[in-house]
């Protein structure tokens, strides 16, 4: 399936994150064997390094702003794809990481605190991002009235909301809009290019106490829910108002 989401924004990201209760292994042989197995399946991912924080990273060299990555942190395992050509490209790496982790990192279903799938859409624009976000999402609300106070300048507007899909609130969806214009730019009326407005849509699953948590199967269900919410909620109710507000600038 072609990635139609990329055509609606300036950059599109698909990220997966497993949060763990216990620390993940950091022994040399274990780490290298895991990343060598990833590179064998995805040969373009050849950039391996360790951050000052101790996290291990395997990345693909950026090619036309498209690349994959896998990060092994102390208590989380992350992977993702930036500007994927197809949605299959985006999910293939994440599924491989989830399938390999139990055997190569000793990741147990009992150890998983939560599993996240996040879609991010970036929108480049000039000017005060907080005003643009407020115009797109706050018009006609008490927040808009507050922002319209005479002589006031908007220096912050990052709306978000979380919903749950079951009675015990273990399956959740969060949508958030992040504007990044710093106060320094607003004060000097000089807006630097480069920092986008971002829309995040995250599906989070907390394991239940009664059944074994099968991460690959849960990830597939989260993908289905994410696709549905993107088409039915995010694109018409978040992307369209934001792009319209940007176009008016």
Domain ranges of the chain: 4-247
Over residues 181-192, the mean pLDDT reads 84
Q: Is the pLDDT of residue 4 over 90?
A: no
Task: Give yes or no for residue 1 having a pLDDT over 60.
Answer: no
Averaged pLDDT for residues 49-54: 92
pLDDT digits (tens, 9 = 90+) for 109-168: 999 999 999 999 999 998 899 999 999 999 999 998 999 999 989 999 999 999 999 999
* pLDDT tens column, 76-107: 999 999 999 899 988 999 999 999 999 999 99
Cα–Cα distance, 222 to 141 (Å, whole number) = 32
Q: Decide: pTM greater than 0.75.
A: yes
Q: What is the spatial distance between Cα 239 and Cα 232, in angstroms, rounded to a whole number?
A: 11
Between 100 and 209, residue with greater pLDDT: 100
- Band the pLDDT of 191: cuts 50, 70, 90: confident
Whether residue 63 has pLDDT greater than 90: no
Mean pLDDT of 199-215: 93
pLDDT of res. 18: 98
Q: Identify the pLDDT of residue 184.
A: 87
pLDDT at 3: 62
pLDDT at residue 193 above 90? no
Question: What is the pLDDT at residue 2?
Answer: 58
Decide: residue 12, CB within 10 A, 0-12 exposed, 13-18 middle, 19+ buried: buried
């Amino acid at each position: 399936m072609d990635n139609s989401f990329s055509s609606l924004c300036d950059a599109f990201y698909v990220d997966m994150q497993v949060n763990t209760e216990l620390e993940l292994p950091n022994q040399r042989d274990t780490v290298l064997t895991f990343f060598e197995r990833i590179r064998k399946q995805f040969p373009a991912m050849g950039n391996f390094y360790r951050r000052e924080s101790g996290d291990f990273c395997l990345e693909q060299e950026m090619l036309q702003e498209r690349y994959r990555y896998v990060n092994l942190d102390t208590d989380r395992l992350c992977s993702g794809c930036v500007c994927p050509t197809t949605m299959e490209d985006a999910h293939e790496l994440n599924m491989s990481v989830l399938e390999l982790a139990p055997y190569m990192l000793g990741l147990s279903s009992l150890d998983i605190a939560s599993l996240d799938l996040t879609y991010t859409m970036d929108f480049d624009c000039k000017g005060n991002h907080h005003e643009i976000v407020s115009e797109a999402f706050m018009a006609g609300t008490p927040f808009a009235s507050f922002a319209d106070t005479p002589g006031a300048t908007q220096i912050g507007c990052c709306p978000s909301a979380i919903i749950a899909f079951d009675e015990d609130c273990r399956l959740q969806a969060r949508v958030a809009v992040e504007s990044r214009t710093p106060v320094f730019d607003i004060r000097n009326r000089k807006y630097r290019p480069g920092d986008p407005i971002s829309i995040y849509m995250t599906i989070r699953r907390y394991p239940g106490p009664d059944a074994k948590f099968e991460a690959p199967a849960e990830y597939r269900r989260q993908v289905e829910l994410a696709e549905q919410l993107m088409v039915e909620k995010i694109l018409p109710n978040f992307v369209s108002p934001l792009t319209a507000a940007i176009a008016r600038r």
